[in-house]
């Protein structure tokens, strides 16, 4: 954690943003945070990004959700996307940029002034395109042990009625050879959703392994792209939400801000 804190202090954008939240003084009159969450598929980007969005009052934009929404719409891209997703391949830059551009335009029309991107950019080309479109303040790179990551991916479930995301995996990894132990409890649904859980068609072990291979090949250069610009915060998840959330807030200098928000509420 000390290493993370040192990195945060070196990052030119984050301390200014954090002070804005804590003091309630706007950084820019018409602009809120513009952050990106990186990490392997299934690491928990959506979980932590959505929590921060609720805390900071900005929209959570997940490209995975944009893709699934298009798949469900039976629109012109639906059949093409279905084939790509079921094979565990990355959706093309052109398709992602079209979906994201439409979402940002819709948000701007509604008066949104910031965002946290989840699942984009995944490639160097996407990162370069994004840099030309908007200013990204901070990139949070979530990491987790590979054994836990695979279990999390295979444990994902969706309620086919309410659309809620859950996880049935119960993870317990012993610490050895310098590797820390890790315990992650399942994220179970309420009783009325239990009988309605389904597994995503692309959450098979073969497809998950292929997604991880592609991510390693295509996305790691993106980390270096933002690292070289002083915008990358690397955060190793120590466990489940109860263990990781407070430490993530500390790394972001937002721990006191959450307490103040709770008191205000």
**Structural domains in the chain (count):** 1
Per the domain annotation, does 224 fall within a domain? Answer: yes
Domain assignment present for 125 = yes
What would the pLDDT profile of 235-263 be if each residue is shown by its tens digit?
999 988 899 999 999 999 887 766 656 64
Quick one: pLDDT at residue 233? 95
**260 or 161, greater pLDDT:** 161
Confidence (pLDDT) at 20: 39
In a domain, 258, yes or no: no
pLDDT at 4 over 50: no
Chain Cα centroid distance, residue 153: 14
pLDDT 10s digits, 81-136: 888 888 878 788 888 888 888 888 888 889 888 899 998 898 899 999 898 878 89
Within a domain: 12: no
* Residue 153: inside a domain: yes
The CATH number given to whatever domain includes residue 224 is: 3.40.50.300
Let me know if residue 23 belongs to a domain: no
pLDDT value of position 15: 38
pTM assigned to the model: 0.75
- Whether 90 maps to a domain, the answer reads no
User: If you average pLDDT over every residue of the chain, what do you get?
Assistant: 81
pLDDT of residue 260: 58
The pLDDT tens digits for 65-86 are 888 888 888 777 888 888 888 8
Q: Which structural domain range is residue 189 located in?
A: 34-58+113-253
Residue 141 domain-assigned (yes or no): yes
């Amino acid at each position: 954690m000390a290493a993370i804190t040192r990195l945060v202090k070196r990052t030119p954008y984050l301390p200014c943003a954090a002070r804005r939240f804590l003091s309630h003084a706007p950084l820019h009159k018409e602009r809120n945070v513009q952050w990106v969450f990186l990490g392997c598929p299934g690491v928990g980007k959506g979980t932590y990004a959505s929590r921060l969005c609720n805390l900071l009052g900005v929209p959570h934009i997940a490209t995975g959700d944009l893709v699934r929404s298009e798949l469900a719409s039976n629109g012109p891209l639906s059949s093409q996307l279905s084939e790509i997703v079921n094979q565990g391949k990355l959706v093309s830059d052109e398709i992602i940029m079209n979906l994201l551009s439409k979402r940002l335009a819709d948000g701007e029309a509604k008066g949104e002034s910031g965002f946290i991107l989840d699942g984009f950019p995944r490639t160097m080309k996407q990162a370069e395109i994004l840099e030309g479109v908007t200013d990204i303040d901070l990139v949070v790179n979530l990491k987790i042990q590979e054994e836990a990551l695979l279990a999390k991916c295979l444990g994902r479930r969706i309620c086919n009625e309410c659309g809620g995301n859950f996880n049935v995996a119960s993870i317990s990894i012993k610490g050895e050879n310098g590797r820390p132990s890790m315990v992650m409890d399942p994220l179970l649904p309420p009783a009325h959703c239990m009988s309605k859980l389904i597994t995503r068609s692309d959450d098979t072990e073969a497809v998950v392994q292929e997604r991880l291979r592609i991510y390693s090949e295509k996305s790691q250069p993106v980390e270096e792209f933002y690292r070289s610009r002083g915008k990358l915060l690397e955060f190793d998840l120590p466990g489940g939400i109860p263990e990781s959330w407070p430490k993530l807030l500390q790394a972001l200098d937002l721990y006191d801000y959450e307490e103040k928000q709770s008191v205000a509420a």
